[in-house]
A and B are shown apart, each in its own frame.
Chain A
Amino acid sequence: MGMMLLLLGWNNSLAQNGKLIFTPHWIPQAQFAGYYVAVDQGFYKDNGLDVDIVHSTANIASLDLLKNGDADIVSSFMLDAIEQRANGVPLVNIGQLSQHSSLMIVTKRKSGIDTYQKLHTKKLGIWSNGFEDVPLAFMQEHGIKMDLIRILQTVNLFLMDGVDALLVMYYNEYDQINNCGIDEDELNTFFFSDFNLDIPEDGIYCMEESLKSKGSAYAGFLKATLKGWEYASEHREYALDLVIGEMNKAHLPNNRVHQRWMLEKVLAMMEPGKKKVMKGQLLKLDFERAMEVFKMAKGTQGYQTFGYEQFYHPSAKGLK
């Protein structure tokens, strides 16, 4: 908690110095490897940018930091960004890194819940902050009701059979469960991407305001970021070295095995696959589907509406 205060103060002073503060939307891990690589390899510098990566914590959303001006650019979960925008926060998506959903539900094989229908009336553990939109949409579309139990951040309740099912990220908690001794063949998996809910996740956001003044810089940022991810893909062990370094700096427990899995899956998610979209771009169809999901989950009461062009600004020039 004390760290957060430190972060905020530091951010304010720096924002005035012409630096770009970039805040990933979680604590340091391989999910952000591309950014670390881009800094370490000087890709941002090549684009005339002086970028600082400043992490948020588990309790504070990166979007809040964006709102408060403590960060210039943040990465965020798209549905969270949509919610913020629907609440009137004038943020825009200037780059979509993740093209696919890695959200999924897991159940233990011994629970016998092997079809999605059997999830009905069961307890689903989900995180305290965010990520409930997709499960809620799923429940609506498939006529399933699940008892949502909020969990702060661990998988332990699921491991101890305190909940029947758990909402997890394929690139993170799924592997954590394996690393606690549960074999893959002891789990049933339900990927939302298999249920027409392949909603892209991580993207880069900034405030609409700043886009006007720093638009070109942001274009450069995206370009350098994509280059960083490309480089990380080709030099995975090196990228992992950077990740481990960041985690150690933040006194976070880490091991290479888990971070390697995360890096692999995050890189896989960045591939367009069957979607007709280029790397770094947001597909309109995906956006519209995401909006659908949001409406299903949260309803429309009290929310602003907006369209694809308002949300997504590839006007960050140089994005061809």
Chain B
Amino acid sequence: MNISIEKTDEEFLVVISGRVDTTNYNEFENSIVHLYNEKDATIYLDCSGLDYISSSGLRIFLTLQKKVKIQGGVLKIFAMQPQIKEIFDISGFSSIFAIFPDYSAAKEA
């Protein structure tokens, strides 16, 4: 699993690739934990390289969403792979998160 976080003036671009499961969800969380305290942040989450996510990983996504909301920011997820989208759909998470097909769509919204 690889995480990269770019900060520009106004937004964060988080690129995640690989798998997030019970073995490395901690690592994932540790990488983005500092975002929990960013005020009014706009965070773009690029999931084009995300191959698999388990419920532990979903939990982190949830936590991030809640924390960002509390801090007044917004989380936008884009470029999910089909099987990941399906998980989100089945579990109903699609309605919790702002999910976009690609970056430009996410930017516009």
Is there direct touching of A and B in the complex, by C-beta distance under 8 Å? no
